[in-house]
Amino acid sequence: MDTTVASDHLAPRPGTGTATGPGTAVATSEQLIGTLPPDFRWGAATSAYQIEGAVAEDGRTPSIWDTFCRVPGAIDNGENGDTACDHYHRVSEDVALMKRLGLDAYRFSISWPRVQPGGRGPANERGLDFYERLVDALLEAGVEPWPTLFHWDLPQELEDAGGWPNRETAYRFADYAELVYRRLGDRVKVWTTLNEPSVVTTHGYLSGVHAPGRTSLADAVAAAHHQMLGHGLVGQRLRALAAEAGNPFELAVTLNLGPATPESDAPEDHEAVRRADGFNNRLYMDPLWFKRYPADVVEDLAARDVRIPVQDGDLELIGAPIDALGVNFYFGQQLSGRAEDGSTVDEGGVPVSRHVLQGLPRTAMGWEIMPDEFAELLTRVGREYPGVPVYVTENGAAFADEPDEKGYVHDVDRAAYIADHVAAVATARAAGTDIRGYFVWSLFDNFEWAYGYDKRFGIVRVDFETQQRTPKHSAEWYTETIRRVRG
C-alpha cells in the first residue's frame, strides 16, 4: 500500500470541512459540531496490547500477538508490544492526563492472557488487580470506564487449540468474561464484547497480515461465526450474573464498518461492492439485528465450498438485544470488479474486487479521507439497523508528525480530520441516527499492529525512548471542543 501523504494536504485548517449540514446552507465542521447536544459523550480509545507493555509481568502469558511479533517480517522494523507505552506502570499518570483533557469516557481493552493466563481455568488475581486499579482511578477522576473484552490478543494456548475457527473458543470467551465481570461488574456500566471481528476474520485468518497469520477462507468464516457466538454467549452469561447481583449494565459490540462504492456503473463493479459490503459489514450486522446471515453472502461462500458453521440456537444467542452499537470508521473503498488486465476472476476463479483510489487526500496509512462517506454510513446504520444507540468507538488518523524540540506536535492535519469526522456524526444525527458519543483513536501514539510504532494515531505524543507524554495540538483542540459543546 502506498503510504505517502500528498504535501498539499499536510496543513489544512482544522474544522473547515464542508459537509452538508441540517438546513439548506453548507455548514462548516465547527458549526455542525456545535449542533451536538451538551450530553454527547466524548472519549478516547486504546487497546491492551497496543499500550500496556509488561507482557511477562504478574503472571501474564503470551497472546497470539506476542507470538506473531516474533515471526520474521511480520511487523515493520521487527517491533513488538513488549514495552509499548508502558501504560501498565503508568496508570495514575495516564488517568490524570485523561482528566486534564476533559474526557467523559475512556475506552480500553482487557488482556485475556493477563486475566486468565492460558485462556482457561481460574483468574489471575494480579492481572485483575491492574484493571481494578485502572477502573477505580478512572471513576475517581470522573472518567467513565468503557472496557472491551476482546481486542485481538487471544491467549496463545487457545490458538494452539484451534483459535477462533474452533467453536470451543467461544465458550472459553464467556468463562473469561465472567472472571472479569465478577471483579468489576459493580463498577463498569457498559461492557463491550468484541472489537472489530471482521478484522480478525480477514486479517488474522484470511490474508494473514495479523496474528495468528492464517490464510484460509474456511477458517476465516468459522472465526467470524465463533466470534459472534462468543459475543452472544458473553451477553447471556453477563446478563445472568447481573440479574443475580441486581446490577444492570449495557451490552455493546464494536464493529468496523467500511462503506464501499462502485468505480463505475458496470454490473461487475456493483457486484464487487455487494460482496464487500456483505462480507465485511452485513455478515456481522444481520445476525445481530435479524438473527440470520445474509443469503447472498451464504451463496457467495457456497460457490467457494465454504459454509458458515451455524448450529441450532446460535442465531438466537447472537441476535439477543444489545444496548449499544460501537462503530469504528477509518475509510471507505471504491471498488472495481475487474483486475487491471480487465479480467473479472482471478487465477483461482474467484471474482475480482480491486480497490481503486479516488484521488482524495490520504493519511500516513494511505487511507483516503472521506468524512462524507462516514456521514452516509452512519445514516445508513440508523435507517437499516434501527433501534440501538450508536457510539463511534474509534475514528482518527495517522500523520507524519514532526515534533518540535519540546516534543510538541502542531498536528493541524489530525485536528482537521477529527473535526470533519465529528461533523459527519452531527450530520448523521440530524438525519435521524441516534449517535450518542465519539471516541477518538487514539489517546496515545502506540503499537499499530503490523506497522509497529511508525504510524502515530495519538492526540498525545509518546516519546518511546523516554515514555514522555505530550498532548498535541489535536488534543488541545479536542479539549476545547468538548468544553464548547458541553456549554
Distance in Å, CB of 441 to ligand FCB, minimum? 5
Query: Would you say 256 or 427 has its CB closer to ligand FCB?
Result: 256
- Window of 195-203, 257-265, 333-341, 380-388 that interacts with ligand FCB by CB under 6 A: 195-203
Whether cis (ω within 30° of 0) applies to the bond prior to 442 is yes
Distance in Å, CB of 449 to ligand FCB, minimum? 5
Q: CA 147, CA 176: separation in Å to the nearest integer?
A: 14
Query: Would you say 68 or 271 has its CB closer to ligand FCB?
Result: 68
Dihedrals phi, psi of 454, to nearest 5 degrees: -70, -30
Total number of residues that touch ligand FCB (CB under 6 A): 12
Q: CA 150, CA 226: separation in Å to the nearest integer?
A: 13
Distance in Å, CB of 46 to ligand FCB, minimum? 8
Distance in Å, CB of 448 to ligand FCB, minimum? 5
Choosing from 195, 333, 363, 433, the residue that interacts with ligand FCB (CB under 6 A) is: 195
Cell (9 digits) for 467: 515514555
Choosing from 148, 192, 198, 256, the residue that interacts with ligand FCB (CB under 6 A) is: 256
Binding status of residue 196 toward ligand FCB by CB under 6 A? yes
- Window of 58-66, 99-107, 193-201, 374-382 that interacts with ligand FCB by CB under 6 A: 193-201
User: Residues 204, 250, 87, 479: is their CA dihedral positive or negative?
Assistant: positive
Name which of residues 315 to 334 contact ligand FCB (CB under 6 A): 328
Give catalytic residue positions.
Answer: 196, 394
- Window of 212-220, 242-250, 289-297, 441-449 that interacts with ligand FCB by CB under 6 A: 441-449
Name which of residues 347 to 406 contact ligand FCB (CB under 6 A): 394
**DSSP labels, 366-430:** SPBP-HHHHHHHHHHHHHHS-SS-EEEEE----------TTS----HHHHHHHHHHHHHHHHHHH
Residue whose C-alpha is closest to residue 410's, from 350, 464, 461: 461
- Window of 126-134, 154-162, 194-202, 242-250 that interacts with ligand FCB by CB under 6 A: 194-202
**Both ends of the chain: CA-CA distance in Å?**
43
Residue whose C-alpha is closest to residue 283's, from 320, 255, 325: 255
Query: Under a CB-based contact definition with an 8 Å cutoff, are residues 278 and 191 in contact?
Result: no
Choosing from 123, 199, 229, 422, the residue that interacts with ligand FCB (CB under 6 A) is: 199
Those residues whose C-beta lies under 8 Å from the C-beta of residue 438, and which sit 6 or more positions away, are 40, 41, 42, 43, 391, 392, 395, 422, 425
Q: CA 83, CA 55: separation in Å to the nearest integer?
A: 8
Choosing from 249, 441, 444, 478, the residue that interacts with ligand FCB (CB under 6 A) is: 441
Distance in Å, CB of 255 to ligand FCB, minimum? 10
Query: Would you say 130 or 449 has its CB closer to ligand FCB?
Result: 449
Query: Would you say 179 or 381 has its CB closer to ligand FCB?
Result: 381
Distance in Å, CB of 328 to ligand FCB, minimum? 6
Binding status of residue 227 toward ligand FCB by CB under 6 A? no
Helices H, strands E: what count in the chain?
A: 17, 13
- Render the burial of 24-50: b for 16+ CB within 10 Å, e for the rest: eeebbbbbbbbbbeeebbbbbbbbbbb
- Window of 31-39, 192-200, 204-212, 305-313 that interacts with ligand FCB by CB under 6 A: 192-200
Residue 185 DSSP one-character state: T
Query: Would you say 147 or 337 has its CB closer to ligand FCB?
Result: 147
Choosing from 28, 29, 47, 156, the residue that interacts with ligand FCB (CB under 6 A) is: 47
Query: Would you say 29 or 254 has its CB closer to ligand FCB?
Result: 254
Query: Under a CB-based contact definition with an 8 Å cutoff, are residues 445 and 459 in contact?
Result: no
Binding status of residue 457 toward ligand FCB by CB under 6 A? yes
Binding status of residue 449 toward ligand FCB by CB under 6 A? yes
Distances in Å between the Cα of 252 and the Cα atoms of 182, 200, 255, 288, 394 are 18, 18, 10, 11, 14
User: Residues 305, 309, 315, 319: is their CA dihedral positive or negative?
Assistant: negative
Distance in Å, CB of 54 to ligand FCB, minimum? 18
What phi-psi label fits residue 60: left (phi over 0), alpha (psi between -120 and 50 degrees) or beta? beta
Query: Would you say 32 or 425 has its CB closer to ligand FCB?
Result: 425
Binding status of residue 153 toward ligand FCB by CB under 6 A? no
Query: Under a CB-based contact definition with an 8 Å cutoff, are residues 238 and 188 in contact?
Result: no
Distance in Å, CB of 395 to ligand FCB, minimum? 9
Residues making contact with ligand FCB (CB under 6 A): 47, 50, 195-196, 199, 256, 328, 394, 441, 448-449, 457
